[in-house]
Amino acid sequence: MTPRSILFLLASLLMLVAGSTEVASARQPNIVIILADDLGYADLGFQGCKDIPTPHLDRLAAAGTRCTNGYVSGPYCSPTRAGLLTGRYQQRFGHEFNPGANGAGLPLSETTIADRLKKAGYATGLVGKWHLGGSPKFHPNRRGFDEFFGFLGGAHAYFAERGAPILRNDTVVDEREYLTDAFGREAVAYIDRHKDHPFFLYLAFNAVHTPMQATDARLKRFEKIENTQRRTYAAMTSAMDDAVGQVLEKLKSTGLDDETLVFFFADNGGPTMPTTTINGSINAPLRGSKRTTLEGGIHVPFVVRWPGKVPAGKTYDGSLIQLDILPTALAAAGVKTDPQWKLDGVDLLPFLRGEAKGAPHDTLYWRFGTQMAIRHGDSKLVRYDSTADGLEGRRATDARLYNLAADIGESKDLAAAEPAKLKELQAAWDKWNAELAPPLWGGGNRATAD
């Protein structure tokens, strides 16, 4: 072989190696959604909490963008999950309330994010709480998830001797570990199994939903908190933070940090009203609670992390909603969305990177029985559960108008002072409401307990 031939062969090999590296770097990113249940707005370190250290979630927020106007499309567990998995306002397909034990669930007409990512070549897994129907036809394995470890209902005990069955796919397992720890263990194992191939992991904690149960070791960490309910809540929050830390460490140790898009948010505000199962959470400076369309029910902690692709250590103030997670994940995966899907969410990446002007949404909407809300810019019109004002009964108040930029606590009603704004927002909400389906179950201002 001549020297020139040798040089040509070496050059060809170098090009081949370079090409292989380019292909490897173009791998579809992993997608991880971490969902907290009934978490108070003020109960994480990066949200200003002082009595419950959350170092792992704080690290996640510091490595990503914290979205200060992050919302969910419902003030209750199951409706929020229906919106998350479809990228559509759940009221469009009748999933307005929690499904009870009546065979109800996420309508089969809807396509989930797991369906869409599976079609794009992803491994798909759910660890944790489902709450989108317990009948076989609604089972996660039949809604796009290759693997499922968790429970199907709305709430579950944290200790095995007190709980209903835990499932691995369709099989009941004898789970003895504290449930939040078990979910962390299973999430880590899922990442380990799929580290060599793009995966989607939906890690849906039931922490910090009732029942209030924590391990003795974690209760010991918070023995200085005098209020026993708050002490247990702190221990449960700490367990969730520990599990998130294990997931983050597994992504780091497997070299997947830069190849993984992570979302973290809560399904609704903390339950602080007597009409809910109170868990000791705090929503300050927001007013209201889970089950209301006040900010305390729908405005939640929200973080997006993707090293090198989403700015680190930043805050983003534009209004966004959990419906945006599906189109954002699909955009990251290189999946083109189809207008026929009629998604309500949008791709957040251009906004978080500063490539798109304005906010992801000029207007956001809510309907929950007789409660409603609309946010347009900084103005919010809301009818909420009157028990938030200490009134008896579950009826919606008259419409109240607030400027959230000046009054995030919704304390100064501007309805009388700005009747034109009230009329404008009511008309916009009425137009949206006319597009919605009636609830498939539940009714009025009532919702099944979770």
348 token code pair:
């957040």
Nearest CA to 235 out of 220, 249, 248, 246 is that of 220
Residues with Cβ within 8 Å of residue 255, at least 6 apart in sequence:
none
Helices then strands, each counted (H, E), the chain: 11, 16
Angle at 145 between CA 325 and CA 347, to 5 degrees: 15
Angle, helices 179-194 vs 228-253, to 10°: value is: 10
Q: Are strands 171-173 and 314-316 parallel, antiparallel or unpaired?
A: unpaired
**Cβ of 185: how many Cβ atoms within 10 Å?**
16
Quick one: which H or E segment has residue 315? strand 314-316
Q: What is the dihedral of CA 295, 301, 306, 311, to 10 degrees?
A: 70
Integer Cα distance of 244 and 306 in angstroms: 16
Cα angle value 243/245/248 (rounded, 5°): 115
Q: Just list the catalytic residues.
A: 77, 131
Which residue is it, tokens 């367990």? 239
Residue 393's region, left for phi above 0, alpha for psi from -120 to 50, else beta, is left
